[in-house]
């Protein structure tokens, strides 16, 4: 199977495959790619300075998340792994929600209960991801079955890495989706490394997309650093799902340019030459060249986008650091509609203990 691509390394598009997307939408897609890159830079720097505890970068994988979300309807559900934060912001999630989440303060929508970077929003249909590998695959297949059962014209897209294709949840999710023709898009971000395990030690298959055939699914391999190609294949998968034709498996071939998380040192296992090769295929640079050639944006305009997001994030970080941690009572809330007597008693004991130790 040949890999689908539209933009070459110089940003020139194949006219026969180039999608019809408005200038405004194309520029918005670039804006959120730039934001994702900037969030990575800020998050890693803050963690290294000891100001936040953890960061999960997605540098090099901006085209997959933004290309995909741009092809969805706002009503469709997203089941992320943890390298797709740009999808939530593209849909309107406020940046301050993430910054407060980083600092685990009193305005953190997750109330300090989630590892920084593992956040979700029911309003924007961005499901809270889990740290265990692949669990979201069966959740998305199940949600897809529910949409079909309830005659809802909705699609679920679920993201996972190449490492997750070796998990039992991958098998269960794809098999279930194929059998019951759920409106699910199984989107594999093949970034070449499952933490420190290379793809060659992950599977004996020639390519991950070959796995689709065994489940009776259509499989598509796409250049994951080509945002227009990602947009096209997701748009087609949405069309299939909403027509009742069932799931699609997409393998987006991309590269994790940074560490797995802020707790990882990729220089210990990854060849420097490999990283340098993939840097030349940077998805943001390729898309910028395309938009500049079409006259949709200038280099000055690109710099203004980055500067605007940079200033906004700096202000949000400054404010977030001033806030207190979440209230102790949040440890006991969101379990019952009304706090029962035994949890109220535990909270009072904890509060008294805190007062004695103050």
- Catalytic residues, by residue number, are 256, 260, 269
Tokens in use for 304? 């203004």
Q: Tell me the C-alpha distance between 64 and 59, whole Å.
A: 11
The answer for residues whose C-beta is within 8 angstroms of residue 307's C-beta and 6 or more apart is: none
Displacement of CA 310 from its chain's centroid (Å):
21
DSSP structural state of residue 43: H
* C-alpha R_g of the chain: 21
Cβ(218)–Cβ(240) under 8 Å? yes
156: left (phi over 0), alpha (psi -120 to 50) or beta: beta
User: DSSP code of 121?
Assistant: B
Length of the chain: 358
For the chain, the distance separating the N- and C-terminal CA atoms, rounded to the nearest angstrom, is: 65
**Distance in angstroms (rounded) separating the CA atoms of residues 31 and 204:** 38
Other beta carbons within 10 angstroms of residue 278's beta carbon come to 16
């Amino acid at each position: 199977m040949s890999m689908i691509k539209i933009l070459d390394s110089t940003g020139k598009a194949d006219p026969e495959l180039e999608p019809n997307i408005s200038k405004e939408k194309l520029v918005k897609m670039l804006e959120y790619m730039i934001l994702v890159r900037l969030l990575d830079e800020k998050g890693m720097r803050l963690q290294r300075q000891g100001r936040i505890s953890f960061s999960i970068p997605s540098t090099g994988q901006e085209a997959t998340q933004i290309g995909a979300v741009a092809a969805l309807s706002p009503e469709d559900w997203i089941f992320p792994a943890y390298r797709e934060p740009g999808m939530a912001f593209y849909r309107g999630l406020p940046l301050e929600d993430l910054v407060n989440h980083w600092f685990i303060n009193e305005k953190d929508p997750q109330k300090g209960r989630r590892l920084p970077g593992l956040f979700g929003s029911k309003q924007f249909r961005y499901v809270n991801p889990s740290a265990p590998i692949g669990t979201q695959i069966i959740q998305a297949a199940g949600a897809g079955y529910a949409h079909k059962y309830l005659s809802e014209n909705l699609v679920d897209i679920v993201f996972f890495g190449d490492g997750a294709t070796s998990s039992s949840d991958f098998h269960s999710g794809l098999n279930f989706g194929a059998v019951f023709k759920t409106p699910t898009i199984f989107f594999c971000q093949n970034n070449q490394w499952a933490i420190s395990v290379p793809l060659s030690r992950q599977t004996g298959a020639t390519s991950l997309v070959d796995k689709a055939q065994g489940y009776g699914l259509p499989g598509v391999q796409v250049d994951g650093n080509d945002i227009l190609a990602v947009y096209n294949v997701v748009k087609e998968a949405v069309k299939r799902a909403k027509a009742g034709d069932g799931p699609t498996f997409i393998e987006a071939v991309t590269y994790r340019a940074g560490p797995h998380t802020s707790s990882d040192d990729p220089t210990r296992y990854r060849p420097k030459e490999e990283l340098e090769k993939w840097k030349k295929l940077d998805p943001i640079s390729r898309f910028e060249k395309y938009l500049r050639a079409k006259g949709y944006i200038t280099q000055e305009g690109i710099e203004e986008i980055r500067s605007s997001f940079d200033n906004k994030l700096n202000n949000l970080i400054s404010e977030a650091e001033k806030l207190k941690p979440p209230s102790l009572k949040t440890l006991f809330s969101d379990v019952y509609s009304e706090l029962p007597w035994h949890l109220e008693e535990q909270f009072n004991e904890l509060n008294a203990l805190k007062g004695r130790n103050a």
